[in-house]
Structure 1
């Protein structure tokens, strides 16, 4: 299951990928999010997979990377950042594989982090300013 919050004032999208979620489900839910009226390609993203139960295989990661390569890029869109929060070794490793497969080939930069503070800092947001938002989420 994927939940998300779009914060237009912060130019930020927060995504939580939890439980048993297949790559196909993930792609379907991300496509639906992109249809949200508040969505903008120009927003940075933090994807938290702390509670993801599914173990994505190498083939799954390649499939996700290939999907990311096909995303439409609006003319004049800026290169955004997608920070992945993956504290567990198993998800950190597969996320790093995704990072390596996509950087330079997709319309955003990918970074993988063990905690929210590092992810927020990397995308240029003050972790303290978003603390209340994260608690509410």
Structure 2
């Protein structure tokens, strides 16, 4: 199951990938987000995989990197922060980070928590938490 929120005032897109998903579902979802009129290729992205059940294989990761290589680049250097709090999801996220950096129109970093990801994106965790109406320590 996918969910997303675009926050133009923060130049940020938040994506949640939960449960069982396939590579083709991920690709279809990326196309859906890009078709949203509020989307901009200049926005940073946080992809939260903390509730993902699917364990992607190295072949799946390579396929997703190939799709990412074709994404539109914006006018500024954007970043994609992946949040994966378990080893089972963090390891493939790091693999995606290694394979995608230098080949995609954005820099990717894998993190264990929201606070670290937001700091890497130069976003204020307290400001985003206030916008999402949660405590900074309980960011989604």
CA distance in 1, matches of 2:26, 2:57: 14
CA distance in 2, matches of 1:15, 1:69: 19
Q: What is the deviation of 1:60?
A: 0.3
CA distance in 1, matches of 2:122, 2:11: 11
Q: What is the deviation of 1:73?
A: 2.7
CA distance in 1, matches of 2:52, 2:133: 18
Deviations 1:25-62 (A, max 9, x none): 01101101100000000000100000001110010000
Q: What is the deviation of 1:96?
A: 0.3
Corresponding residue for residue 71 of structure 1: 71
Corresponding residue for residue 92 of structure 1: 90
Q: What is the deviation of 1:120?
A: 0.3
Could you tell me the TM-score, scaled by structure 2's length?
0.92
Corresponding residue for residue 117 of structure 2: 119
CA distance in 2, matches of 1:27, 1:79: 22
Residues 91 and 131 (structure 1 numbering): CA distance in 2 closer, same or farther, change over 3 Å?
Answer: same
Q: CA RMSD in A?
A: 1.4
CA distance in 1, matches of 2:125, 2:56: 29
Aligned residues: 135
Where do 4+ consecutive residues of structure 1 move more than 2 Å?
134-137
| 2:7 is equivalent to residue 7 of structure 1 | yes
Corresponding residue for residue 79 of structure 2: 81
Q: What is the deviation of 1:72?
A: 2.7
- Which ranges of structure 2 fall in alignment gaps of 5 or more residues? none
